[in-house]
Amino acid sequence: MKINVPLQAGFLPDRYTKHADAADKIGTYPVVSFPIEFQNVPSEAASLAFTLLDPDSIPVCGFEYIHWVVANLDPQLTELPANASQSGVVAMTYGNNSLAGGLLNVTDQQLNRHYLGPTPPDQPHNYRLTVYALDQKLALPDGFWLNQLESKLTGHVLATATAILPVKN
């Protein structure tokens, strides 16, 4: 399986990051999700799931920041279009990002259960997008946590693909 996210000059385009125009943000948070192309998904896949995490955030805030978690995408999907997280044009089960956690406790579900664009505070960060092809749909409600997804993945992953998405500071 392969995935592709279009980059500009080696970085995630500004529209999907802290450099987005105000029209692509809710308050100060960038919310327009980037497109993802899916290739060679196993024919026996029953669903797709993915995570967008920032391992470079660990020295900054003490944990790997969760920017986007999704389950139960149609495995026949060849492209998730830009802004799919907010627009609802593609059916998916939305997981919580780090805004929903007890440290920040943002209660607006348009922010805490959808794509939260990268906002590296200190230097360029490399964000890790991992897509999982699964042999079943996952019994997860909207608002599930990353650890719940990871638990449900056990024994059901047919293939994975990872892309590193650099973002300018």
H-type helices in 2-157, by residue range? 58-61, 84-87, 109-112, 146-153
**DSSP structural state of residue 11:** B
**Domain regions of the chain by residue span:** 2-167
Q: Among candidates 119, 107, 103, which has minimal Cα distance to 143?
A: 107
pLDDT value of residue 38: 98
Q: Which CATH number fits domain 2-167: 3.90.280.10, 3.50.50.60, 3.40.50.300, 1.10.3720.10?
A: 3.90.280.10
What local confidence, expressed as pLDDT, does residue 13 receive?
98
In the chain, which residues have pLDDT < 50? none
Structure confidence at residue 106 (pLDDT): 86
Q: How deeply is 94 buried, as exposed, middle or buried, from its count of CB atoms within 10 A (0-12, 13-18, 19+)?
A: buried
